């Protein structure tokens, strides 16, 4: 069903734009497209809304300046291209925004800024301060220092995590596609655009393909991942084509453009961090009784229900909790290290002190530190 969408209460907006929307196939920046985007964002800012821009394109712009004919493949080459391209990219944004009297601030993030709770809160405070001062944050992954272990991998997920970080009302993913289709429109001309999504089902996930262009790193897969994070965080998400005239203004005004993903709930800040930002350090496999206790009765995870331990983790780390078939059913912060859990798995709570020589907690994962159906 299509039609007008009620987005009148939207006050804080995160807009993500992909490389293919910013850079010509030649590798040069698409200044016309960038200027149009900035004008729309500046107009939102002038309306009194808070705007954050998550932008790709640093590596793409840098590779052109460095003379690469295609996207670099090694980490050092990508980092060199990002170091050159990021400065060029922000300079362009700064110049365009300044024409409308808007100040921008560059913010570069890595996964560690989300997975480490202290850094997470520091990043949150920085962004809140910039918004309070009337600054538009221009955000990108810090590709100049990120290696595979700490890379977020794509800016769709970065944008979703930024949205949860600042409690955004709306996330707009601008791309080179019109929205989510029932099938890949490049191969199926009869494929229809899906106007609204209220649940990301396995059938919807089958619609997803790989990266769309040589300049980009994402695709429909990463956009669905981003939408899922936002939906569970109480944030509306819209996926639309970046070249659609006045696309941002029209989306915010409630016009039916692209695909809208409606929120399915709103976790509190701590649980959102556990579910989407923290690094998963291991896995606890539980028996069917423990799985039912977690999913159906909201119980904590006790050592008696644990049948297997994987990975190396310390107290306070986040772990995945899986049923006997290996399906992830929850994530949570553990009260014991992996060697300790290995020793007490399958035992009753009253036996913890006898086996370990101490008992700091009854639960391996307390329900207050547990997130279901991630």
What is the H or E stretch that residue 107 is in? strand 104-109
How far, in Å, CA of 177 to CA of 258, rounded?
Answer: 9
With b for 16 or more beta-carbon neighbours within 10 A and e for fewer, the 108-135 pattern comes to: bbbbbbbbeeeebeebbeebeebbeeeb
Q: Is 373 annotated as a binding residue?
A: no
67 is in an annotated binding site: no
151 is in an annotated binding site: no
Rounded CA gap, 141 and 139, in Å? 7
126 assigned to a ligand binding site: no
The Cα–Cα gap between 265 and 263 comes to: 6
Give 320's strand partners: 283, 331
Strands 50-55 and 196-197, how do they pair? unpaired
To the question of whether residue 56 is assigned a binding role by annotation, the answer is yes
328-333 sheet: strands from edge to edge: 306-311, 280-286, 318-322, 328-333, 370-372
> Whose structure tokens read 């399906």?
327
End-to-end C-alpha distance for the chain, whole angstroms: 28
Rounded (10°) angle between helices 155-165 and 117-132: 80
176 annotated to bind ligand:
yes
Starting at the earlier edge strand, list the strands of the sheet with 259-261. 104-109, 136-141, 50-55, 12-17, 170-175, 236-241, 259-261, 196-197
Tokens 């997920």, residue?
A: 157
Q: Collect all residues with Cβ–Cβ distance below 8 Å to 343 and sequence separation of at least 6.
A: 355, 356
Q: How many CB atoms lie within 10 A of CB 154?
A: 22
223 is in an annotated binding site: yes
Q: Is 326 helix (H, G, I), strand (E, B) or coil?
A: coil
Cα–Cα distances (Å) from 237 to 159, 225, 240, 260, in that order, read 11, 11, 10, 6
222 annotated as a binding-site residue: yes
Q: CA 238, CA 173: separation in Å to the nearest integer?
A: 6
Is 201 annotated as contributing to ligand binding?
Answer: no
Q: For residue 323, give every residue at least 6 positions away whose Cβ sits within 8 Å of its Cβ, in sequence order, or none.
A: 285, 286, 288, 291, 329
- Residues within the annotated binding site for ATP? 16, 175-176, 217-223
- Residues within the annotated binding site for substrate? 56, 143, 155
- Residues within the annotated binding site? 16, 56, 143, 155, 175-176, 217-223
């Amino acid at each position: 069903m299509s039609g007008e969408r009620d987005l009148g209460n939207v006050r804080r907006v995160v807009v993500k734009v992909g490389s293919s929307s910013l850079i010509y196939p030649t590798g040069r920046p698409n200044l016309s497209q960038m200027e149009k985007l900035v004008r729309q964002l500046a107009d939102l800012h002038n309306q009194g809304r808070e705007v954050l821009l998550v932008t790709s394109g640093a590596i793409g712009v840098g590779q052109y300046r460095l003379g690469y004919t295609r996207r670099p493949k090694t980490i050092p080459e990508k980092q060199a291209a990002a170091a050159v391209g990021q400065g060029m990219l922000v300079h362009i944004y700064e110049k365009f925004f300044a024409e409308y009297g808007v100040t921008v601030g560059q913010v570069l993030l890595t996964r560690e800024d989300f997975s480490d709770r202290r850094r997470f809160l520091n990043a949150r405070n920085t962004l809140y301060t910039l918004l309070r001062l009337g600054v538009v944050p221009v955000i990108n992954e810090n590709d100049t220092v990120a290696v595979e272990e700490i890379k977020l991998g794509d800016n769709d997920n970065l944008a979703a995590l930024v949205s949860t970080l600042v409690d955004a009302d709306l996330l707009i993913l601008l791309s080179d596609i019109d929205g989510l289709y029932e099938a890949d429109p490049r191969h199926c001309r009869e494929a229809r655009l899906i106007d609204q999504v209220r649940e990301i089902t396995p059938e919807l996930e089958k619609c997803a393909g790989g990266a769309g262009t040589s300049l980009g790193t994402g695709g429909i897969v990463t956009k669905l991942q981003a939408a899922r994070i936002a939906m569970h965080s109480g944030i509306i998400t819209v996926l639309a084509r970046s070249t659609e005239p006045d696309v941002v203004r029209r989306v915010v005004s409630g016009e039916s453009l692209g695909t809208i993903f409606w929120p399915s709930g709103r976790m509190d800040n701590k649980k959102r961090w556990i579910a989407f930002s923290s690094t998963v350090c291991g896995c606890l496999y539980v028996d069917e009784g423990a799985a039912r206790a977690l999913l159906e009765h909201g119980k904590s995870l006790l050592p008696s229900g644990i049948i297997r331990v994987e990975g190396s983790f310390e107290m306070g780390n986040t772990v995945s909790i899986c049923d006997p078939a290996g399906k992830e059913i929850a994530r949570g912060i553990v009260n014991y290290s992996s060697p300790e859990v290995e020793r007490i798995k399958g035992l009753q709570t009253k036996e913890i002190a006898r086996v370990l020589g101490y008992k700091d907690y009854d639960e391996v994962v307390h329900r207050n530190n547990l997130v279901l159906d991630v």
